[in-house]
């Protein structure tokens, strides 16, 4: 006890603990050499923590943290309930339990002693689960577990021997040899072949050397101040286990069991403790917040059912209805001067193309399909080109009309429906040719984007050729800029005859919308990218409809007295 060693290896058995428990007791009496607190005890498998009844209140904290080997045991079904129900009055033929009961609970049974009973009287209703663990444990210990397995092993071997005799009976004086007359050495053969699962689910068998295949557990004794204790599995590493969602990072120059725990990188997870590396989720999943599980991604596309889709559908149908009403108003007043003065055929073509533009926005809603993906960009590009071409044709027609009024002007031969139709057809044909090349080389197609948004799988229409997509937009922008320039130059012509200033403003709105579309389109992801394009289509179409036709509709509907030839040619 005077040694400076911090670790003490104890070779002993269950009763050894009884003697070791005297050390703290002697220390309390003033013996300095018995002060063994702070030492680590390592004991063999037979060593158990027990005590006499009079030692139950003695200090046992010197064993706190002790490390011991233990014969492997397991919980036997029904054992805990069996122990709880045992008492001296229902244990016939078990004389041991009477003495145990008196010592464990510090009481006496009057009819078991001679003379007068001194001390508390045992009732038999005391609860064994209330006893300190050093006096009685409610769980099966290693030695008891081994005896349990040994009894069942012999029973299995005897049963195998008995079945063998039934199949191959040995005859002694014409009678079957009885099992009781077998020699013990004859059982060895059957013992070696025994293999069964006990009631706790553990396999019981022997190896080729005739040894029981078993294992030893390494445990820590945790002693509490109230004299209770429990066993725990000791940690033999210098680092706590890395939780799920992190991985091990080995420390250079340290043992392999010493490492740091670092979180899994973005996009990866670990589902178990102490993972050496993190795993990547599949394209259909995304990591959880703690990066310890993969969560299925939501399927995302701009549908008709969600609020954003419903709003865009309502705007599209509203603008379509407004365009149809304007077209109906112009057709009803087909022969009035203001309709005639603004080139009726071009006006009708422009209104019909605007109506189709508003309706083609609906192609961008819903789950992408092969047909809708092909029609989305091409229909939008061609129809809008027709609309802008009509605006360009109207502007050029107005300019040439005023130039032709000058004496001796050669522009007079260019004025007429033929020029306007040629402008519309040629400009539209160029855009149609661009779309045809697009569809023939690398057309749009339904695609799945699993990477742009972390928690979503985006169903989208892939443009196929991004270059062709921007060529279509650039061509429409080119037509709009030409229309704006021509209309701007013709803005000072007599107001009654031309709509140049309205056209210039509408083209200014058109160009502003599509110039802001490009950065917005590139900076958004998923269904919001589709929503940006739909908004641009509706906004630019509404700008053309409102700027060009609202002044004429105002005169036709609310100021019909101004819709006459004298008023138009007054200037």
Mean pLDDT over each residue of the chain, to the nearest integer: 81
Residue-level pLDDT at 34: 54
| CATH placement of domain 307-443+479-568 | 1.20.1070.10
pLDDT single digits (tens) 510-527: 888 888 888 888 888 878
Confidence of residue 171 (pLDDT cuts 50, 70, 90): very low
Residue-level pLDDT at 356: 92
Rounded Cα distance, 225 and 474, in Å: 84
Q: Is the pLDDT of residue 429 over 60?
A: yes
**Helix (H, G, I), strand (E, B), or coil: what is residue 486?**
helix
Residue-level pLDDT at 433: 93
Q: Is the pLDDT of residue 262 over 50?
A: yes
Confidence of residue 147 (pLDDT cuts 50, 70, 90): very high
Confidence of residue 323 (pLDDT cuts 50, 70, 90): very high
Residue-level pLDDT at 174: 38
Rounded Cα distance, 436 and 382, in Å: 10
Residue-level pLDDT at 314: 93
67-71, 403-407, 419-423: range with highest mean pLDDT: 67-71
- pLDDT average, residue stretch 348-365: 91
Rounded Cα distance, 154 and 168, in Å: 21
Residue-level pLDDT at 62: 76
- pLDDT average, residue stretch 170-175: 43
Whether 154 and 184 have beta carbons less than 8 Å apart is answered as no
- pLDDT average, residue stretch 263-278: 87
Identify the CA nearest to 211 among candidates 233, 184, 191, 235. 191
Residue-level pLDDT at 359: 92
Rounded Cα distance, 457 and 497, in Å: 55
- pLDDT average, residue stretch 128-138: 82
Residue-level pLDDT at 179: 54
Q: For 270-290, b where at least 16 C-beta lie within 10 A, e where not — what string?
A: beeebbeebeebeeebbbeee
Residue-level pLDDT at 172: 42
Residue-level pLDDT at 33: 56
Share of the chain above pLDDT 70, in %: 85
Confidence of residue 313 (pLDDT cuts 50, 70, 90): very high
Residue-level pLDDT at 108: 87
Q: For 34-63, b where at least 16 C-beta lie within 10 A, e where not — what string?
A: bbbeebebebeebbbbbbeeebeeebbebb
CA quadruple 301, 305, 306, 309: dihedral positive or negative?
positive
Residue-level pLDDT at 210: 81
Q: What does R_g of the chain's alpha carbons equal in angstroms?
A: 49
pLDDT single digits (tens) 460-502: 888 888 899 889 988 988 888 888 888 777 766 655 445 667 7
- pLDDT average, residue stretch 379-389: 89
- pLDDT average, residue stretch 402-431: 70
Residue-level pLDDT at 353: 92
**∠ Cα 80 81 86 (to 5°):** 100
Share of the chain above pLDDT 90, in %: 11
Least confident interval from 82-91, 153-162, 236-245: 236-245
357, with CB counted inside 10 A (0-12, 13-18, 19+), is: buried
Confidence of residue 173 (pLDDT cuts 50, 70, 90): very low
Residue 476 tokens read as 């429409």
Residue 296 tokens read as 């299925």
**Helix (H, G, I), strand (E, B), or coil: what is residue 443?**
coil
CA quadruple 161, 162, 164, 169: dihedral positive or negative?
positive
Whether 9 and 20 have beta carbons less than 8 Å apart is answered as no
pLDDT single digits (tens) 45-92: 777 777 777 777 777 777 788 888 888 888 899 998 888 888 888 887
- pLDDT average, residue stretch 218-230: 78
pTM of the model: 0.56
Where along the chain do its domains lie?
A: 146-202, 246-296, 307-443+479-568
- pLDDT average, residue stretch 256-272: 86
Q: Please, which residues have CB within 8 angstroms of residue 306's CB and are 6 or more apart in sequence?
A: none
pLDDT greater at residue 152 or residue 395: 152
Confidence of residue 27 (pLDDT cuts 50, 70, 90): low
Confidence of residue 148 (pLDDT cuts 50, 70, 90): very high
Q: Is the pLDDT of residue 21 over 80?
A: no
């Amino acid at each position: 006890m005077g040694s400076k060693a911090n670790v003490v290896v104890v070779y002993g058995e269950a009763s050894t603990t009884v003697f070791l428990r005297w050390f703290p007791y002697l220390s309390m009496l003033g013996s300095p050499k018995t002060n063994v607190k702070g030492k680590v005890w390592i004991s063999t498998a037979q060593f158990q923590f027990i005590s006499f009844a009079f030692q139950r209140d003695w200090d046992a904290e010197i064993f706190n943290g002790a490390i011991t080997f233990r014969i492997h045991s397991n919980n036997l079904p029904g054992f805990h309930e069996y122990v709880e129900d045992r008492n001296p009055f229902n244990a016939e033929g078990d004389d041991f339990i009477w003495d145990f009961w008196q010592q464990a609970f510090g009481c006496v049974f009057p009819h078991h002693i001679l003379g007068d009973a001194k001390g508390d009287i045992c009732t038999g209703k005391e609860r064994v689960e209330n006893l300190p663990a050093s006096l009685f444990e409610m769980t099966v210990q290693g030695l008891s577990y081994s005896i349990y397995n040994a009894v069942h092993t012999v029973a299995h071997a005897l049963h195998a021997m008995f079945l063998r005799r039934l199949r191959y009976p040995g005859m002694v004086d014409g009678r079957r040899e009885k099992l009781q007359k077998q020699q013990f050495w004859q059982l060895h053969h059957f013992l070696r072949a025994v293999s069964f699962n006990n009631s706790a689910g553990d396999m019981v068998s022997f190896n080729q050397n005739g040894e029981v295949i078993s294992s030893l557990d390494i445990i820590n004794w945790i002693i509490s101040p109230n004299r209770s204790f429990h066993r725990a599995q000791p940690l033999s590493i210098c680092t706590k286990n890395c939780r799920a969602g992190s991985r091990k990072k080995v420390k250079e120059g340290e043992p392999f069991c010493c490492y740091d725990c670092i979180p899994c990188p973005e996009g990866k997870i670990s589902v178990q403790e102490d993972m050496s590396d993190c795993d990547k989720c599949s394209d259909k999943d995304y990591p959880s917040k703690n990066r310890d599980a993969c969560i299925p991604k939501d399927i995302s596309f701009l549908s008709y059912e969600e609020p954003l889709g419903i709003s865009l559908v309502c705007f599209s149908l509203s603008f379509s209805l407004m365009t149809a009403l304007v077209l109906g108003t112009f057709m009803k007043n087909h022969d009035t001067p203001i309709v005639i003065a603004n080139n009726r055929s071009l006006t009708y073509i422009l209104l019909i193309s605007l109506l189709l533009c508003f309706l083609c926005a609906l192609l961008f809603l819903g789950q992408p399909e092969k047909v809708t993906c092909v029609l989305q960009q091409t229909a939008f590009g061609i129809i809008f080109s027709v609309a802008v071409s009509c605006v360009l044709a109207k502007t050029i027609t107005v300019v040439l009309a005023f130039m032709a009024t000058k004496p001796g002007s050669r522009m007079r031969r260019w004025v007429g429906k033929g020029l306007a139709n040629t402008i519309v057809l040629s400009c539209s044909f160029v855009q149609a040719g661009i779309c045809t090349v697009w569809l023939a080389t690398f057309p749009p197609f339904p695609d799945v984007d699993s990477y742009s948004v972390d928690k979503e799988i985006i169903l989208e229409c892939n443009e196929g050729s991004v270059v062709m997509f921007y060529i279509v937009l650039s061509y429409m922008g080119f037509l709009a800029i030409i229309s704006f320039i021509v209309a701007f130059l013709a803005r000072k012509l007599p107001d009654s005859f031309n709509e140049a200033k309205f056209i210039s403003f509408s083209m200014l709105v058109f160009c502003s919308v599509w110039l802001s579309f490009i950065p917005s389109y590139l900076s958004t992801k998923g269904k919001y990218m589709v929503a940006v394009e739909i908004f641009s289509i509706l906004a630019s179409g509404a700008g053309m409809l409102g700027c060009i036709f609202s002044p004429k509709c105002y005169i036709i509907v609310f100021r019909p007295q101004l819709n006459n030839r004298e008023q138009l040619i007054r200037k």
